[in-house]
Structure 1
Amino acid sequence: MKSITYWHRNLMVLWMGAFMSEGAISLIVPILPLFLKSLGNYTPSQLSLLSGSIFAVTFLIKAVVSPLWGKLSDRVGHKPMLLRAAGGLSFCCFMIAIAPNVWLIILARAIQGIFSGYINNAESMIATEAPKEHKGWALGTLATGDTAGLLCGPIIGGTLATFVGFRGTFFIAALLMLAVFGLSWKLVTETFEPVPASEKMGIRDTLSAQPHIKLLLLIFVLTLIVQATNNAVNPILSLYLDDLLPSAPHLPLISGIVAALPGIATVLSAGYLGRLGDMHGQRKLLIGGLALGTLIYIPQIFVTNIWGLGSLRFITGLSIAALLPALQAILTQNTQPAALGRIFSYNQTFQALGNVCGAMISAGIASAFGYVQVFTAVCVMEALGLLLAWRLKC
């Protein structure tokens, strides 16, 4: 077994890589819909559909290609996948920065879907290397890097957009991902043993060889639901704030701060919640996170001021901090080690599909019924996830 020093070192490097990667991605989230608004004379309904589509296309492409990257990671290891993802995202941010119209942005986001997957591969590497008794803590710690980037990115993005404009912000995101590429290339070490050709299996054979296939399938579905709820608000948040605060100065900065509040709560609580999962069971942690999510989205349907919305978005981060690390820990505990890369890639596909569903549900509901009803839809999805989590037997 690899020494604790070995996996701890990789955890620290990947934490920084996840922080910078998620920061580069999330800093464009609150300003991208506002950037679209500046590129043409769109109605609110058109903006909702365009924003949702631009967010969804990345995850739709990612859902298709993730199993292919998973197979390749079993052959060449996780480190090349980290480099592929970081370099590809840098190129896509550069494309958005120079885009003259919405169509090139859509193309860039589609290409981003092809090359995405830095954080998923970091999670898979740590899940493979960390000792069983520390997996929950290790994944929770890595999640704090992800969510710290999620926290800092929107605030930095809103600030940069205020002072250097939308395009300058996208250029800076491209440079951040170049830094992630260099960090991963120089500092991540991996002792990789490729899966023998005789042991390579397709999706059906891989799943049928697992001892708890029904549980894994249920985890995939829960992952889709969780990602849909996490992603549904993002495409419309800055547009919703534009409605709440018409003609507000520094709207990109305000949008960035509100978008970052769930990340603040997640960073503060993820490590503690990961230890709770290790001590008391990941299923209990998952159920608690979904119950909190269901309850906290109800008042978000009715809130009408920025302070109330901000407070509720902060509490939402406590739910987010519990969910994905718990799902990943359960997945790891019930998957044979030789198939972990492939199983994680399948789960990544469901994460991507969840993001697609969240973005498209958001776009459709916001376009037809208004931004507020997006929160109603998310509350219903959280409740559905809670019902399914009760059926887990692990």
Structure 2
Amino acid sequence: MQISWKRNFYILWVAQAAALLGFQSVQPFLPYYVQVLGVKDLSEAAVWAGYMGTASGLAMALSAPFWGAMADRFGRRPMVVRAMLGGGLTVLLMAYARTPLELVLARFLQGLLAGSVTACITLVSTSTPRAHLGYALGMMQSAMMVGAAVGMMGGGALIDGIGYRDTFLIAGVVVVLAGLSVQIWVREDFQPDRSRGETKRKSGVIADTRAFLRLKPFRIVLVCLMLTQFAFGVIMPVTPLFLQELAQTDDIASIAGFIFSASMLAGGVLSVVLGSLSDRFGANRMLTGGLLATAVLYALQGFSTTVLMLGTLQVIAGITKGAIRPVANVLLTQSVSATDRGKAFGVMASATALGWAVGPAFGGYLSVHWGFRSVFGVTALLFVLVGVWVWRAMRGLD
């Protein structure tokens, strides 16, 4: 029976949206959760939030190449199921954390087992006709952002209503159910490439990485995403706590959830359009424009004096950030063969996770010594540097 790529795609869209809903019901609020676990000072909370981000990113950097190789050997669907089931179980573990250190350990385990975003993108990129890749990857980005948006809004309301532990339990169950739905309903006609012989199949991660790095488009995307993920990581532990400082209220989770949700939703809706526009106007213009616009908006956020001002700028930044990942994913899929995309996305995930591993700890350090506002300026500068470099490096590729 012929497998319909559209049927698979829409099932994956729903499953990924549900998985991100579960993950993002709790993840943005971890800087608040550590305060419930005994950390009262906001600067110290930023440091612990940085540790959690670093632990997760480091674990993902270590495990991503392995999972990418497993995807090319055993199929892409099993990796999606593994990521969702493993990630869901670690969310359930977080519900029972008693100290910030236990929460850090749970995040490390989540980094080892999760990675549903990369797994889903790999499966979609290998099962979608080339002519529809821009649309499909843009739509998948929208699933992630829409799911995250609903999760953030619902998670914030649930936390203020029923508490952290019950919210974590509900979120974990949702992610596990998403993984089970992929196992039951998604079909994959996977046939490992046997034409290259044992030497190629056993070449290992290092040899694969060297081969990919010889491809200029892949090399550009790798560096771009690693640096942008570092920049996102720098600001990650600071934004919720800066919002808390401005809000001066105990019901901060609901407020933060609404703002983060609106930002994700704006990016999710427009990522479909932005992904398709890259097919028409070229990846260089779209990617560079998204990076530089994001830089401007982060710089402005550092001058925020009210929750409304910070929230509005966050929402607009969600739109510009929606132009970065879909365009980069299109470039990646066009630069490697379909049989190598599992390994390619694994290498890419490892590099971006490495950036994410370093960023949060650096952001926490900056917030302690220079204050919350300075971190926004540093993040903006990083995006400017990456945007200029990408524009120069990609000339002639469109």
Asked if the contact 1:52–1:362 (Cα under 8 Å) also holds between the matched residues in 2, the reply is yes
Q: CA–CA distance in 1 between the matches of 2:164 and 2:9?
A: 33
TM-aligned CA deviation for residue 209 of structure 1: 4.4
Q: TM-score, normalised by structure 1?
A: 0.95
Cα distance per residue 1:199-225 (max 9 Å; x no partner) = 313344334545952332221110112
SS of the residue aligned with 1:195?
coil
Matching residue within 223, 226, 251 for 2:225: 223
Asked if residue 287 in structure 1 is aligned to residue 288 in structure 2, the reply is: yes
Structure 2 unmatched runs, 5+: none
The 1:161/1:190 distance shift into structure 2, 3 A limit, reads same
What amino acid is aligned across from residue 378 of structure 1 in structure 2?
Answer: T
Question: What is the CA–CA distance in structure 2 between the aligned matches of 1:8 and 1:134, rounded to whole Å?
Answer: 10
Asked if 1:97 is matched to 2:95, the reply is yes
Aligned partner of 2:118 in structure 1 is 120
Letter in 2 for 1:340: R
- Name whichever of 42-51 and 12-21 sits farther off: 42-51
Please name the residue that 1:277 is paired with: 278
Q: Does the CA contact (< 8 Å) of 2:217 and 2:331 recur in 1?
A: no
Classify 1:356/1:41 alpha carbon distance in 2 versus 1 (closer, same or farther; 3 Å). Answer: closer
Q: Which stretch of the first structure deviates more once superposed, 57-66 or 94-103?
A: 94-103
- 1:86 match: 84
Q: 1:291 to 1:362 in 2, by over 3 A?
A: same
Deviation at 1:103, TM superposition (A): 2.0
CA contact (8 A) 1:211 1:335 kept: no
Percent of paired sites with the same residue: 26
Contact 1:75/1:194 (<8 A) preserved: yes
What one-letter code is carried by the residue in structure 1 that aligns with 2:150? C
Mapped contact 1:230–1:358 kept (Cα < 8 A):
yes
Deviates more, 1:200-209 or 1:345-354: 200-209
- Cα offsets for 1:241-265 (capped at 9, x unmatched): 221122x142110011122232021
- Aligned counterpart in structure 1 of residue 238 of structure 2, from 223, 236, 239: 236
Q: Give the letter aligned to residue 32 of structure 2.
A: L
Q: Is the 8 A contact 1:89 1:112 kept in 2?
A: yes
Q: CA deviation at 1:331?
A: 1.0
Q: Cα distance, 1:8 vs. partner? A: 1.1
- Deviation per residue, 1:272-330 (Å, 9 max, x gap): 11111111112221011112112222211211111111111111011111101111111
Q: What residue in structure 2 maps to residue 311 of structure 1?
A: 312
1:77 aligns with 2:79: no
4+ residue segments displaced more than 3 Å: 207-212
Partner of 2:180: 182
Aligned twin of 1:53: 51
Look up the match of 1:111.
109
Q: Which of 187-196 and 38-47 deviates more?
A: 38-47
What is residue 339 of structure 1 aligned with on the other side?
A: 340
Give the whole-Å Cα distance in 1 for the aligned partners of 2:39 and 2:100.
Answer: 12
How many residues align? The count is 391
- The letter of the residue matching 1:296 is L
Q: Structure 2 counterpart of 1:104, which letter?
A: E
Aligned partner of 1:254 in structure 2 is: 255
3-state SS in 2 of match to 1:98: coil
Aligned partner of residue 85 in structure 2, secondary structure: helix
Aligned to 2:373: 372
Q: What letter matches 2:317 in structure 1?
A: T
Unaligned stretches of 5+ residues in structure 1 = none
2: CA distance, partners of 1:208 / 1:33: 38
Which amino acid is the alignment partner of residue 84 of structure 2?
A
Please state if 1:351 is matched with 2:339: no
- Of 222-231 and 18-27, deviating more is 222-231
Q: Deviations over 1:5-46 (max 9, x none)?
A: 721111111111111111111111232111110111443332
Q: Distance in 2 between matches of 1:312 and 1:289?
A: 15
